[in-house]
Amino acid sequence: MRENNGGRSRRRFRHDHESARVSIPSQPCGICEQPIVEMASAIGYGPAQAPAHFDCVLTELTKQQQLEGGEKVAYLGSGTFGVIIEKEGTRFEIHRKIPVEDPNNPPAWRKELRNLYKK
């Protein structure tokens, strides 16, 4: 189907099928014990690598670290947090890294999530 747009034409596509939705069962947070609604954003935390809310992990790590002037805890990616200090603009300096989840050995619940998304 085409539509006239002032001399330019654009195609409009019809989608007769619904996109598949993945149903992920909620699990309790290993820190606050409240349900985790967005399991895809959960972080494996602690010795058991139990799923935890991202914000709960950030709060726990901030309590555990001895932060000095200007330092704060931030997510660095791939299951790693760090103590950083912000510099000019969007730059920052990493003072120390805090590995929380091993990207090479994800917890069992994360492997299950990956398998659900692959289907």
Output the DSSP codes for the chain: -EEEETTEEEE-----SPPP------EE-TTT--EES-GGG-EEETTTTEEE-HHHHHHHHHHHS---TTEEEEEEETTEEEEEEE-STT-EEEEEEEE-S-TTS--HHHHHHHHHHH-
Over residues 2-54, the pLDDT tens digits come to: 555 555 556 665 555 444 555 667 899 999 999 999 998 999 999 999 999 99
Enter the pTM of the model: 0.75
The predicted-structure confidence for 65-83, as pLDDT tens digits, reads as follows 999 989 999 999 999 999 9
